[in-house]
Amino acid sequence: MTLDTVEHETGAQPRWSVLWLHGLGADGHDFAPIVPELVRREWPALRFVFPHAPVRPVTINGGMRMRAWYDIRDLDLAHRADLEGVAASVAEVEALVAREEARGVPPERQLLAGFSQGGAVTLAAGLVRARPLAGLVALSTYLPMGASQAQAACVPGAPAQPVFMAHGQFDPVVPQRGGEAAAQALRALGFGVEWRTYPMQHAVCAEEIRDLGDWMTARFAAG
């Protein structure tokens, strides 16, 4: 059974899907308001799918139960992610990708996006996609495993997926160097990464949405 989701279609019979993963403690409603700000008139009909992460205890928050894609055990990025939880969430993403294909949208016309914790899962899922998605969007995030683990996980075909990464220069939650390290690791594996920074904290800004829209326009043209 797939995760519960919030969905928004921009037109009849969508030919493309955008799967968007929220951050820690949020839910699928968190990024739904971005749709009217992001979508452009000339784009094909899209289905936006915003899943709710499972509720689980989070160590860094005193074991409090909240929506989370994986447990966060430590503030240090190198040891922050519970990799078993990451793998379980990657499997949930795979189920959503399969559901979209069953609804008539093949992986080649699906974009996978995520913010913060959701972005970490997006990158982890991208590494193991033997059948590439149309692209990966990772905002204010980091690679949840080390570069050597990422190299071991990366399957042939995965680096064909273009990646858009964006980060706040003053991010106190995921320092910019964490995002930069992820972009460098992905490039070393052969991924084409567009990297952008903005004068903000752990957030999303209008300029970022505009730049993401430009990048998505190019993906639709290529597809």
8 belongs to the catalytic site: no
The DSSP line for 96-129 is HHHHHHHTT--GGGEEEEEETHHHHHHHHHHHT-
Q: What is the three-class DSSP state of 217?
A: helix
Bridge partners (DSSP) of residue 81 are 72
For 165, the token pair is 């990464």
Range 144-173 burial, b when 16+ CB lie within 10 A, else e: bbeeeebeebbeeebbebbbbbbbbeebeb
Q: How far apart are CA 70 and CA 98, in angstroms?
A: 21
Half-sphere exposure of 163 (CA within 13 A, CB side): 32
17 belongs to the catalytic site: no
For 185, the token pair is 């690791």
Q: How far apart are CA 23 and CA 116, in angstroms?
A: 5
Q: Which of 27, 71, 89, 116 is catalytic?
A: 116
171 belongs to the catalytic site: yes
Bridge partners (DSSP) of residue 51 are 5
Q: Which of 82, 89, 167, 202 is catalytic?
A: 202
Other C-beta atoms closer than 10 Å to the C-beta of 100 total 22
Q: Which of 30, 71, 82, 171 is catalytic?
A: 171
Question: Looking at the annotation, which residues are catalytic?
Answer: 116, 171, 202
